[in-house]
Amino acid sequence: MNKNLFNSIFICLIMILTGCETDSTFRELPLSVEDQVFSLSENTPSGSLVGCVAPENQNSLHYFLVYSAQSKAFRVDSTSGELFVEDIIQIDYEKNAQIELELLSCRNGLKINHGNLSKITIKILNEKEPYSWTSAIELGENKHAVVNSLYPATANSNPENYMISSWTVNLKPTICRTYLRFDLSEIPVSATISKATLTLKHPDDGIEDHEQSHFSGSNSFIIRKVTSDWQTNSLTWEQQPTYSITNQTILPASTEPNQNYEADVTGIVADMVGQPNTNYGFVLMLENENYYRRICFASMEHSNKNLRPVLEINYQN
């Protein structure tokens, strides 16, 4: 083989292996990927797109996150440059309000001599945390009472059942209303109430006088916010507190004699939590108090604890 030809081939091989080019026309442009900043909510679901780290003026690049304790919370698509949340559990504003990542960008796969290191800053947005609260089964700091128009000056502070009714006893009209208050002091005043549900269960004791009844018409009933104070041992029909129709909840007529109810009381509870000094509880009354119609539920002191009323609140804080 001609010695000059051999030298030319050898020089070409060296230039190829070192990444050099023989003609400036084919020389690659300098690789430069700038530092980038993104914002991300701390409650963003895993799998969500954070943003794209690929620059507009660079083609055929590959992207890799440099391993670190914080990089495990993310992943980057090596070809598209899209940055995703991999594990949201590791992202918490209270622990890290800002996350710093290193991005390796390179041509030709993993040719480090063509690589570029840049910084990705992810600013974590503080969001309200979701919480769930359920009322205690025991009476405790809660309170309740039933008032009866037949006994206008008599208090009933330890009812086994809640009566919401309009009936007659010995042909004398009798209207019953129920008052109940839950202690909400465990919920922060600053909380945002997203959902509040009051579950009321029928005693299902086989007693006819406890059956849900719409004998003379609809037994739909209303849950309203009480707006003045009351005490269980002195609450009577004659001495009832005031109430508001704002955010009231109307429950439809029963379709079964032992029907249970779930009532959306979000609006009322939001007021109670936001203004704890005015948490005077709920009053339950028939929408139409003409007799004969009745609603009955197990009370906070019912012998079967599984039938007692429960208030469930979902909130953010």
> Binning pLDDT at 50, 70 and 90, where does residue 127 land?
confident
Within a domain: residue 195?
yes
Q: What is the pLDDT of residues 219-273, one digit of tens each?
A: 999 999 999 999 999 999 999 999 999 999 999 999 999 999 999 999 999 999 9
Considering the domain architecture, whether residues 35 and 99 belong to the same structural domain is answered as: yes
Q: Is the pLDDT of residue 15 over 50?
A: no
Choice between 113 and 300, residue whose per-residue pLDDT is larger: 300
Considering the domain architecture, whether residues 146 and 114 belong to the same structural domain is answered as: no
Q: Is the pLDDT of residue 155 over 80?
A: yes
> Binning pLDDT at 50, 70 and 90, where does residue 8 land?
very low
Considering the domain architecture, whether residues 146 and 218 belong to the same structural domain is answered as: yes
Choice between 55 and 6, residue whose per-residue pLDDT is larger: 55
Least confident span in 107-116, 191-200, 204-213, 247-256: 107-116
> Binning pLDDT at 50, 70 and 90, where does residue 317 land?
confident
Whole-number pLDDT of residue 271: 97
Global pTM exceeds 0.75: no
Considering the domain architecture, whether residues 194 and 253 belong to the same structural domain is answered as: yes
Considering the domain architecture, whether residues 91 and 190 belong to the same structural domain is answered as: no
In angstroms, rounded to a whole number, what is the distance separating the alpha carbons of residues 182 and 231? 13
Within a domain: residue 170?
yes
Task: Give the end of a domain, one of 111, 127, 143.
Answer: 127
Within a domain: residue 112?
yes
The average pLDDT across 128-142 equals 91
Least confident span in 11-20, 90-99, 127-136, 166-175: 11-20
The tally of domains found in the chain comes to 2
Contact call for residues 196 and 187 (beta carbons, < 8 A): no
Considering the domain architecture, whether residues 244 and 273 belong to the same structural domain is answered as: yes
In angstroms, rounded to a whole number, what is the distance separating the alpha carbons of residues 27 and 21? 6
* Structural domain that includes position 45: 29-127
Within a domain: residue 95?
yes
Task: Give the end of a domain, one of 127, 155, 190.
Answer: 127
Q: What is the pLDDT of residues 16-75, one digit of tens each?
A: 444 444 344 434 556 678 899 999 998 889 999 999 998 877 677 899 999 998 999 999
Considering the domain architecture, whether residues 103 and 203 belong to the same structural domain is answered as: no
In angstroms, rounded to a whole number, what is the distance separating the alpha carbons of residues 162 and 170? 21
- 68: which residues sit within 8 A by CB, 6+ positions away? 101, 102
Considering the domain architecture, whether residues 152 and 292 belong to the same structural domain is answered as: yes
Residue for token pair 């000059």:
4
Task: Give the end of a domain, one of 127, 145, 176.
Answer: 127
Within a domain: residue 1?
no
Q: Is the pLDDT of residue 116 over 50?
A: yes
Considering the domain architecture, whether residues 114 and 62 belong to the same structural domain is answered as: yes
Considering the domain architecture, whether residues 106 and 237 belong to the same structural domain is answered as: no
Query: Rounded mean pLDDT of the chain?
Result: 89
Give the 3-state secondary structure of the chain: CCHHHHHHHHHHHHHHHCCCCCCHHHCCCCCCCCCEEEEEECCCCCCCEEEECCCCCCCCEEEEECCCCCHHHEEECCCCCEEEECCHHHCCCCCCCEEEEEEEEEECCCCHHHCEEEEEEEEEECCCCEEEEECCCCCCCCEEEEEECCCCCCCCCCCCEEEEEEEEECCEEEEEEEEEECCCCCCCCCCEEEEEEEEECCCCCCCHHHCCECCCCCCCEEEEEECCCCCCCCCCCCCCCCEEEEEEEEECCCCCCCCCEEEECHHHHHHHHHCHHHCCCEEEEECCCCCCEEEEEECCCCCCHHHCCEEEEEEEC
Whole-number pLDDT of residue 301: 96
